[in-house]
Amino acid sequence: MDENFYKKYVIGDKMIIDLNFTIGYKCPACDHFHLECLSVFDIPCSKPCVMKCECGESELEISRNFNLYILNVPCFICGIVHTYKITKRGLLLKKSPLIFDCKFSGYDICCIGEGSAVEKWINDYAIELDKIIEDDFEDFFVDDLIVFETIEKIKSLEEIGKLYCECGSRKIEIELLSESVELQCMLCGAKMKIQTATEEQLKKTLNYEQIVLGGNNNNNGKKSKLKLVTSNNNL
């Protein structure tokens, strides 16, 4: 039997849906794009399917929980592994490729779709990135290390439930700016910036034990204050 039979649903001689897809991502270690063609049958529920870059320094994981696919992508922008969820229907209905971006910077980091569409994304995006870097990306942040350490601190607090808003929401959006990281509650809109311009500001951030947005309680759209709590509670 044709080995590709199990990668397609077939009635008679008519193919209903192609079960193959291609994933491409930009490796944060070697700075090259890596892509592989997979089938839904390559991703069992028992363990994740791992795509490893040729350089051996980064890997992308895709796992399945029944009809939900979980994608863990290493980010060449912020260095954090971002997690995305895709339904089987969304994965296989490839009218256009699915593109996933860095949750902090908005830059694309991964693409899923038909092989030709993913290759086109890689070719077009490589040209776009060259122009971005040449124009202003390298000078965008005052200090890249401070920005990334700030993000790591915020994410570590989020993982243990210490990043939330007084309105009750734990859905906090993080946006990178040139001299700060802006936090915004996705429920009430409360927001504030954590400065990332100096080492002193970073030391202060690293001392936080929790970050609590004050919450917008029908305050006519005014920005709420950010409550930053440390072990000595003197901020």
The per-residue pLDDT for range 27-47, each reduced to its tens digit, is 988 889 999 998 878 887 778
DSSP conformation letters of 189-233: --EEEEE-SSHHHHHHHHTEEEEEE---SS-TTPPPPEEEEETT-
**Same domain, residue pair 134 and 148:** no
Number of domains in the chain: 2
- The residue among 93, 116, 139 that closes a domain is 139
- Is position 95 within any domain? yes
Choosing from 112, 139, 166, the residue where a domain stops is: 139
Quick one: 112 and 21 in the same domain?
yes
Q: What is residue 73's predicted lDDT score, i.e. its pLDDT?
A: 94
Is 205 part of a structural domain of the chain? Answer: yes
| 92 and 10 inside one domain | yes
Q: Kindly state whether residues 133 and 194 are assigned to the same domain.
A: no
| Alpha-carbon span 126 to 116, nearest angstrom | 15
Q: Are residues 55 and 110 located together in one domain of the fold? A: yes
Instruction: Report if residue 31 sits inside a domain.
Output: yes
Q: What is the percentage of the chain residues whose pLDDT exceeds 90?
A: 28
Asked if residue 198 has pLDDT above 70, the reply is: yes
Q: How many CB atoms lie within 10 A of CB 90?
A: 14
For residue 117, list its beta bridge partners. none
Q: Determine the pLDDT at residue 227.
A: 55
Q: Among 75, 108, 139, where does a domain finish?
A: 139
One domain for residues 51 and 130 = yes
More confident residue, 196 or 140: 196
161 inside domain: yes
Structural domain includes residue 23: yes
- pLDDT at position 147 over 90: no
Q: Above pLDDT 70, what percent of the chain?
A: 77
**Computed over its alpha carbons, how large is the radius of gyration of the chain?**
21
For 4-32, what is each residue's pLDDT tens digit?
Answer: 444 444 444 554 566 788 999 999 888 89
How high does pLDDT run on average in the chain? 79
Residue at 235 is within a domain: no
Instruction: Tell me whether residue 150 is in a domain.
Output: yes
Pseudo-torsion of CA 220, 222, 228, 234, nearest 10°?
-100
Decide the pairing of beta strands 163-165 and 208-213. Answer: parallel
Domain that holds residue 159: 144-230
pLDDT band at 119 (very low <50, low <70, confident <90, very high): very high
Q: Could you tell me if 68 and 109 lie in one domain?
A: yes
Average pLDDT over residues 59-88: 88
